A and B are shown apart, each in its own frame.
Chain A
Amino acid sequence: MTYSTETLEQATVESMQRFSKRYLASVAVLLVLVIAGAVAYVHQLQDGLYVTGMRDRITWGLYITLFVFFIGASMGGTFVSAALRLADMGWRAPISRGAEYITVSALLTASLFIFADMGHPERAINIMLFGRWESPLVWDVYGLTTYLAGSMVYLYLAVLPDLALVRDRIGHRLDPIRRLFVIMFSASWTGHPKQVKALDTSLKVMTVVIVPVAVMMHTVTSWIFGMTLREPWDSPMFGIYFVVGAVYSGVGLIVVFMYIMRRMNHMEAFLTERHFLNMGKLLAGAGGVMIFFQISDLVTAGFKLKGESALNLYQLADGDMAPIFWTYIWVGLMIPLALMLLPFTRNIWGVLIASVLANVGMMLERYFIVVGGLRLPLNPYEPPDYTPTFTELTIVVGLCSLFILLLLIMMKLAPAISVQEMVETGEIEAVQVDAKGVVA
């Protein structure tokens, strides 16, 4: 027996109506953390960046580390949703909606980290008014706004038929806010062939456009570092490095989200082990490329040991940053790859653990790139220390909670699995269940 479109529609749409205790508790906890972050931010706004651990020599800390991390997370969403759509890989269908949610949430969170890093956020407009085109920071602002706008358009186009489905199926049972949202954003979609054709064309165009825009965004983010005269960042490889690292952490984050969604919405029939394993292959591929880059980087720098490059290598391999660096190498790169290569860990749990570790690793990598790069003194001084303060950590936790909260809210605004993509790709026919409705 196979799952019918009808059953799929019912399962996905009905899941929007279920507010389990676990869901509500998660939202409540996250809300408290977001509020705590907001209070800490007000404190920072009043007293200035002095309340953080950042000083004149370490001017970028956790905020920029997390900014880079979330920009990377958004790339994974685009990669899975748009790039796999371009490659016509049907198995992506039940994952792509979650990936699109992650892209938009991660980009919104990343942009908030920029504001957190600004002592005077009200001056943000100055970069538009007085920004110089020669500055990679200006490129990044234009890149980020373009990527965010594109991702939102892409998400909206993809979700439009499903919003209409919700409107038609359970619109009358939704609470007033969500009913208004669904009616407003489903526009006048009726599924008329002309509408379907227009949507197909728009989605194809957006798919082609959004992938290079995403790659451009990550490259430009890397250029903020790569175009600064600091030895640890002085590498033409930085762009590629960032893009691959972004795919690596982004894919990992999607796997974690898939797992939560699967458990929370009882989507075991649609998000099967096959999907996790395919994502695991992507994770292993990106991780393998990261290891290759890392070895190439270490061997060339370690063989020559020239000037500041040697100092950087020392601080990473044997100095103050060594614990972070080696945790990244082993926990963030090697163990996830091993988990994907070993047959007995190639299962849902294995992919999940590998994904969590990959994200921990990438967060550490972003940290030693940002802070490690600034630590290296330009003059003969001792490297400065950086320890995030409680205020800083509260803001970081608050913004990370906001990211998860946005995902949880999105899950209840539209179906977490794209019905139209499942049908379009024929994935619905692949969902085999027995007579009791259990996935075979």
Chain B
Amino acid sequence: MTNFPMHTKRNLLSALAIIIAIAGIAGWSSIASAQQPVPSLNLGFEPTALPGETLAISAYLTDPLGNPIYDAEIEFSYDVEFMNVTDSVEIGSAITDDTGLALVIWHPRSDGDNHIVASFAGDDVFTPANDMQVLEVLPGTQLYRELPPYRIPGANVWLTTGLITTVWVIFIFSLALVGWANLKTRNSPHTGSTGDQRGGSDA
């Protein structure tokens, strides 16, 4: 049998104690959770709708015996895909009444299948609960239409940059032209006052 040094044994025992403690806490919480009753959440709405139509989305929250759970917050959302990522968009939230009913009003905006989700986050008594149903939004009048970008053929950022650059090059060229002529003739004899050289002088 391998003979571990004393400090290694002590370390191993400490690690074992920590693992047992974590497992104990997890086990206790799962037991505690298992002891909580699991509620039932049931979504309800018309299976089909048109874009822009007013749609009532209801959710009933009941305990395992079928008794309504009141004063519980239910969140409603639907799944959307944007740039290859699916995420949920909140429709709204409502508090259940005496009959366990939570109700929100929604106007679906896009046609196709909309996955509507109702969620109860759970509380001290009940565990969380979800329900998902598909709402088919039939093709109809679109509420909004994304216009294609307004494009002028050939006009783009490079053309603008090119234009500005050209103007700046002309500025520099104009200066350089005079500078170059000055440099080339700097040692030429001085020909008199300015006005005289530009012609038309009557001096």
Residues of A within 8 A of B (CB): 2, 4-6, 8-9, 133, 142, 146, 149-150, 153, 156-157, 160-162, 164-165, 168-169, 187-199, 201-203, 205-206, 209, 213, 419-420, 422-424, 426, 428-429
- The answer on a CB contact under 8 Å between B174 and A8 is no
> Of B160, B180, B190, which contacts A133 at CB under 8 A?
B160
Closest to B186 in A: A188
- The answer on a CB contact under 8 Å between B168 and A149 is yes
- The answer on a CB contact under 8 Å between B177 and A165 is no
Top 5 A-B residue pairs of the complex, sorted by shortest distance between their CB atoms: A191-B197, A198-B181, A188-B186, A202-B174, A192-B185
Closest to A156 in B: B175
Main secondary structure on chain B at its contact with chain A? helix
- The answer on a CB contact under 8 Å between B194 and A195 is no
Least CB distance from B34 to A in Å reads 54
Residues of B within 8 A of A187 (CB): 178-179, 182
Residues of B within 8 A of A156 (CB): 175
Main secondary structure on chain A at its contact with chain B? helix
Interface size on B, residues (CB 8 A): 36
Cα separation A113 to B202 with both chains bound (whole Å): 46
| A133/B157 contact (C-beta < 8 A), A153-B174, A199-B178 known | yes
- The answer on a CB contact under 8 Å between A190 and B185 is yes
B170 interface contact, C-beta 8 A: yes
> Of B160, B180, B188, B203, which contacts A192 at CB under 8 A?
B188
Closest to B189 in A: A190
Least CB distance from A132 to B in Å reads 10
> Of A142, A153, A420, which contacts B195 at CB under 8 A?
A420
B7 interface contact, C-beta 8 A: no
List residues 144-203 of chain B with CB under 8 A from any CB of chain A.
Answer: 157, 160, 164, 167-168, 170-171, 173-175, 177-186, 188-203
Residues of B within 8 A of A (CB): 157, 160, 164, 167-168, 170-171, 173-175, 177-186, 188-203
Closest to B165 in A: A146
| A190/B196 contact (C-beta < 8 A), A2-B202, A5-B201, A209-B170 known | no
| A198/B195 contact (C-beta < 8 A), A5-B201, A5-B203, A157-B175 known | no
| A423/B168 contact (C-beta < 8 A), A199-B178, A202-B178, A205-B173 known | no
Give 7 A-B contacts (CB < 8 Å), ordered by A residue: A2-B202, A150-B171, A160-B178, A188-B186, A191-B193, A192-B188, A424-B199
Least CB distance from B181 to A in Å reads 3
Residues of A within 8 A of B192 (CB): 191
- The answer on a CB contact under 8 Å between A161 and B198 is yes
> Of A153, A189, A420, which contacts B175 at CB under 8 A?
A153
> Of B160, B168, B189, B195, which contacts A9 at CB under 8 A?
B195
Residues of B within 8 A of A6 (CB): 193, 203
Cα separation A181 to B202 with both chains bound (whole Å): 30
Cα separation A160 to B179 with both chains bound (whole Å): 11
Cα separation A6 to B198 with both chains bound (whole Å): 13
| A195/B202 contact (C-beta < 8 A), A153-B171, A419-B194, A420-B195 known | no
Cα separation A253 to B190 with both chains bound (whole Å): 38
- The answer on a CB contact under 8 Å between B195 and A195 is no
| A197/B186 contact (C-beta < 8 A), A5-B201, A161-B194, A206-B174 known | no
Cα separation A160 to B200 with both chains bound (whole Å): 19
Known: A157-B178, A161-B198, A190-B186. 19 other contacts (CB 8 A): A2-B202, A4-B203, A5-B202, A6-B203, A9-B194, A146-B168, A153-B171, A190-B188, A190-B189, A191-B196, A192-B197, A194-B184, A198-B181, A199-B181, A201-B177, A205-B170, A205-B174, A423-B200, A426-B200
Cα separation A192 to B194 with both chains bound (whole Å): 10
Cα separation A161 to B182 with both chains bound (whole Å): 11
Cα separation A35 to B194 with both chains bound (whole Å): 39
Closest to A188 in B: B186
| A198/B178 contact (C-beta < 8 A), A153-B171, A190-B185 known | yes
Least CB distance from A270 to B in Å reads 13
- The answer on a CB contact under 8 Å between B178 and A195 is yes
> Of A150, A194, A209, which contacts B185 at CB under 8 A?
A194
Closest to A149 in B: B171
Least CB distance from B134 to A in Å reads 39
- The answer on a CB contact under 8 Å between B202 and A4 is yes
